Chains A and B, each alone.
Chain A
């Protein structure tokens, strides 16, 4: 479908039981002029057409109570009921964003890192945090992408952004035997997007709390080889307005918007040009 005006951009924010970041995510897109809809996955699968939308978001939360593994059940359901449409969606370059639990879904569904297209079995995982525990805090991440990821086009490479995390299973991992090979692929294919760092942009090197979950290579977000599917553990929709910032009440001249807006602006710019 063609987008002529920004208000023609249709964004599907899908939800299931346990999703809890759908409203903020919709608001972020709506603020930029898009028409975002929150639709339950069952309603989507039964009565709607995924291909009527320009972009798809798997928002944060605890889908299906994080049973089995975080994101695993939603991923399986999506692949069973929407696989053909989802493949077409990706092949046509329509953007898919996974935030926190959404990132877990994309990894479990084989949509990320998807080195050779959608993989039948997961090529990575988001394991239990080290140190163990649910971690809800503001962190810094550095933008590492060289221009492939359409969700971060408006963020200069090397820019440090401030953004919150809120998860218990966010430790990005590859299998031990493939971690160096896969990391090299991520870098070579320009799929590495965000790494945890300190406020000066120096990598966390695995050190807590700068790296809040023990993620391999401090990985906070990655995209697929074509840059149109993006998943990240931090929440850009919770860092959208200036008043989202944790110290805004103590700050003079609070900015109208915070760093997370850059992610939504980038994908909206892509959608306006692409469709």
Chain B
């Protein structure tokens, strides 16, 4: 069993209205928030034959559903669960 943590975030240069609104709200609360970016984190447990197979599966998940390459970047870590 493997556990992956995938972070999907906006590519550089794309506007992040959710981040901007959050930044504004934090400032209204008197926090010093210079820049806020919002990303999504998916934690997925799944079966795979080995680490390489697990990585391939996660790549496919990202490409087929979790990220739209027009605007999204993704990074992930994979750990084997014992």
Q: Contact: B66 with A129, CB < 8 Å?
A: no
**Cβ distance A200 to chain B, nearest Cβ, rounded Å:** 28
Q: Contact: A76 with B65, CB < 8 Å?
A: yes
Q: Is B70 interfacial (CB-CB < 8 Å)?
A: yes
Task: Kindly report which residue of chain B lies nearest to residue A75, judged by CB atoms.
Answer: B65
Question: Which of B15, B18, B21, B64 contacts A76 (CB under 8 A)?
Answer: B64
Q: Contact: A128 with B18, CB < 8 Å?
A: yes
Main secondary structure of the interface of A (DSSP, over half): loop
Q: How far is the CA of A123 from the CA of B71 in the complex (A)?
A: 10
Q: Contact: A128 with B17, CB < 8 Å?
A: yes
Of A39-47, A66-74, A139-147, A262-270, the one contacting chain B is A66-74
Q: Is A132 interfacial (CB-CB < 8 Å)?
A: yes
Q: Is A23 interfacial (CB-CB < 8 Å)?
A: no
Q: Is A124 interfacial (CB-CB < 8 Å)?
A: yes
27 pairs, A vs B, C-beta closer than 8 Å: A69-B68, A72-B65, A73-B65, A108-B68, A121-B69, A122-B68, A122-B69, A122-B70, A123-B70, A124-B70, A125-B68, A127-B14, A127-B15, A127-B71, A129-B17, A130-B17, A132-B17, A132-B20, A132-B21, A173-B14, A173-B70, A173-B71, A174-B70, A175-B11, A175-B71, A176-B13, A214-B15
